[in-house]
Structure 1
Amino acid sequence: MAVKLICASHSPLMEFASPQEKYKEEKVRETFAKLAAEVEAYDPTLIITFGPDHFNGFFYDLMPSFCVGIRATAAGDWDYGKDNNKINVPEETAVNLVRRVMDEGVDVAYSYRMQADHGVTQPLHFLCGGHLDRYPTIPIFINGAAAPMPTTKRTVALGRAVGQFIKSLNLENERVLVLGTGGLSHDPPTPQMGAVPLEVEEFLIAGRNPTPEARQARQAKIIAVGQRLAAGDTSVAVPLNPEWDRALLKTFAQADFAAIEAMTEDEIRVEGGRGGQEVRSWMAAFAALHEVGEYEMTAHCYEDISEWIAGFGIVSAELK
């Protein structure tokens, strides 16, 4: 059995805003293209992807810390999954994953109607030739937007439990790809309960399936924040934090899970912004791989791109 990992930042603004420093965008796109070719050559028999949500598929009417998609489609935000929104979830395998994770002591929600937003669909789009259903894929949602969030310690425990499931497959011809997506330093204008008008709170509680006009208006606000941040207006978002990002990449490279488990929600918010909380997806992905065996990480690129409101990092890892 082979197991590989790719973790990457995401930004829906990739298709809607172009950085002034063109080489940064080119580096990111070249890296995705290179890794997509590697994924095609690897031809995974199963992808397990950890990703957040940005109030497109998960809301405060029932907000789990973790949720496994037994059946899933793309939420359709930012046009990902516009032509084909199906995610190719192998149902029996996904149910077996849920059972194994629970056996390992981590309770997870599960959904037969998951709507996965760009936190899951964008990396699948770039790494799988634009086809969300190209490979059997189990999406695992990790709450990285709606406070209070799961602790980093429980997030690592989730990853380790998924790693035990991967080990249980034990098939010679199995080729598993673990994906983690989110962050790094990243402060999109995500509204917070208790700090917004009642009508916005109602959206945060039950805002599924917005009208095209409502989605367009929401996305236009995010595009505008990226443009203002790039122009130096730090009143609209926490500035990107390359120093924190690079230290975090080093922590993952060293498999320093004690340091990861010591991180708090408040600390991440201060250093990495609201979207910095999404690095929980990286934590779970690396913990899953490490549960299978010691790994070696390769950092392919890191670019701080204000127009995309993201410290954009892309790494891969393989078992030693």
Structure 2
Amino acid sequence: MTLALVTMSHSPLLEYVNPPADVKAGVDAAFDAVRAFVTDFDPDLVINIGPDHYNGFFYDIMPPFCIGYDAVGVGDFGTQAGPLNVATDTARALTEFLMQEGIDMTVSLRMEVDHGAVQPMEIIYGDFTAKPVVPIFINSVAPPFTPLKRIRELGEAIGRFASTELPDQKVLLIGSGGLSHEPPVPQIATATPEVRASLLGGGRHLTPEARDARQQRVISAAKDFAAGINVVKPLAPEWDQELMRILASGDLSPIDAWTPDEMSEIAGNSSHEVRTWIAAYAALGAAGPYTVQYSFYKPIPEYIAGFGVTAATLD
């Protein structure tokens, strides 16, 4: 078994807004760096840990985490639509392993994934079917949230599975999301009756017209945020960089004390997407000591995100 990791912020706005040229060049260089890293590693399997933004998971049933035995991209914000190349037997074996480890997993025999899971595969490979994948959803937008200690334990169990059950495979862990940001994702506590119905499942399988209207709201909000208009929650670079420092250290235990309310207050309602990073780094650490080989960070208002990209390997 050989394990490597890539974590990256994603943004549905990459192709829809224009940050300053030097900022865009920095992000492009970061993507080039992880493409080269993954090409050199050449994994046999990708374990793709991502969030969802009320495109595949809704409040009719909202699990803290879920493994897909099959998965379909919904095609939001111009990302690929259609079936992923899911390693179903491995997904099933991982689920059974996690349950034996005391992690109560939810499973989906037809997981629907949005840009949160699709965009990293497209950035790295240009095609989300390029490698066999095990998709793992972690709830990152819909309170209540499971404690971060539980996310760390989930990740550690994933790492033990890769170490013991996939001895002859090279496995790439992808954690996608965050860092600090608060885009216009609706909150159930303040939702209007119409929005509440959408969050309860009415927003599933949108018409092209409804999806375009939803996306235009996000694009408009990004442009306003970059211009200093209607700022809901400023980005939190110090919080972002402290998280990245802890993850790089190999000792993730300090994160156990972080609470969801504090995260929302300091870093925004969508900062919970860093759960995908935590799970991925915990998985890598469970396989052995590691070193971060590449790290990029920039607060980018045009993307409404503290934008980070890292790559790491076992020592």
TM range (shorter): over 0.9
Choose 161-170 or 115-124, whichever is displaced more.
Answer: 161-170
Give 5+ residue unaligned stretches, structure 2: none
Tell me which of 265, 276, 295 is aligned to 2:290: 295
Counterpart of 1:167?
163
- Letter paired with 2:130: R
Q: Say if 2:109 is the partner of 1:115.
A: no
Structure-1 separation of matches of 2:54 and 2:166: 36
**1:135-174 to 2 correspondences below 5 Å:** 135-172=131-168, 174=169
Counterpart of 2:11?
11
CA deviations over 1:23-68 (Å, ceiling 9, x no partner): 1111111211221133123221110011100000000011000000
Q: Is the 8 A contact 1:67 1:141 kept in 2?
A: yes
Counterpart of 1:203?
198
Q: Say if 2:58 is the partner of 1:59.
A: yes
Structure-2 separation of matches of 1:299 and 1:34: 8
Counterpart of 1:100?
97
Structure-2 separation of matches of 1:3 and 1:303: 27
- Letter paired with 1:90: A
Aligned pairs, number: 314
Counterpart of 2:88?
91
Counterpart of 2:259?
264
Counterpart of 1:231?
227
- Letter paired with 1:48: I
Q: Say if 2:27 is the partner of 1:31.
A: no
Structure-1 separation of matches of 2:300 and 2:214: 21
Displacement after TM superposition at 1:256 (Å): 2.8
Q: Is the 8 A contact 1:144 1:278 kept in 2?
A: yes
Give 5+ residue unaligned stretches, structure 1: none
Counterpart of 2:184?
189
SS of 1:147 mapped into structure 2 = coil
Counterpart of 2:49?
50
Counterpart of 2:269?
274
Counterpart of 2:2?
2
Choose 278-287 or 247-256, whichever is displaced more.
Answer: 247-256
Normalised by the size of structure 2, how large is the TM-score? Answer: 0.97
Counterpart of 1:133?
129
Displacement after TM superposition at 1:148 (Å): 0.4
SS of 1:194 mapped into structure 2 = helix
Structure-2 separation of matches of 1:301 and 1:290: 20
Displacement after TM superposition at 1:114 (Å): 0.3
Normalised by the size of structure 1, how large is the TM-score? Answer: 0.96
Structure-1 separation of matches of 2:250 and 2:263: 18
CA deviations over 1:228-274 (Å, ceiling 9, x no partner): 111112x3421111111111111111123221111110111011101
Structure-2 separation of matches of 1:76 and 1:31: 24
Displacement after TM superposition at 1:98 (Å): 0.2
Structure-2 separation of matches of 1:300 and 1:18: 23
Poorly superposed stretches of 4+, deviation over 4 Å:
none
CA deviations over 1:100-133 (Å, ceiling 9, x no partner): 01111001101111011111000011011x1101
Structure-1 separation of matches of 2:261 and 2:32: 35
Structure-2 separation of matches of 1:51 and 1:237: 24
SS of 1:23 mapped into structure 2 = helix
Counterpart of 2:312?
317
Q: Is the 8 A contact 2:44 2:132 kept in 1?
A: yes
Structure-2 separation of matches of 1:171 and 1:229: 47
Q: Is the 8 A contact 2:37 2:311 kept in 1?
A: no
- The sequence identity of aligned pairs, in percent, is 43
Structure-2 separation of matches of 1:38 and 1:257: 24
CA deviations over 1:271-312 (Å, ceiling 9, x no partner): 110110100000100000111001111343111110110110
SS of 1:274 mapped into structure 2 = coil
Displacement after TM superposition at 1:170 (Å): 4.4
Counterpart of 2:68?
69
Counterpart of 1:219?
215
Structure-2 separation of matches of 1:170 and 1:136: 14
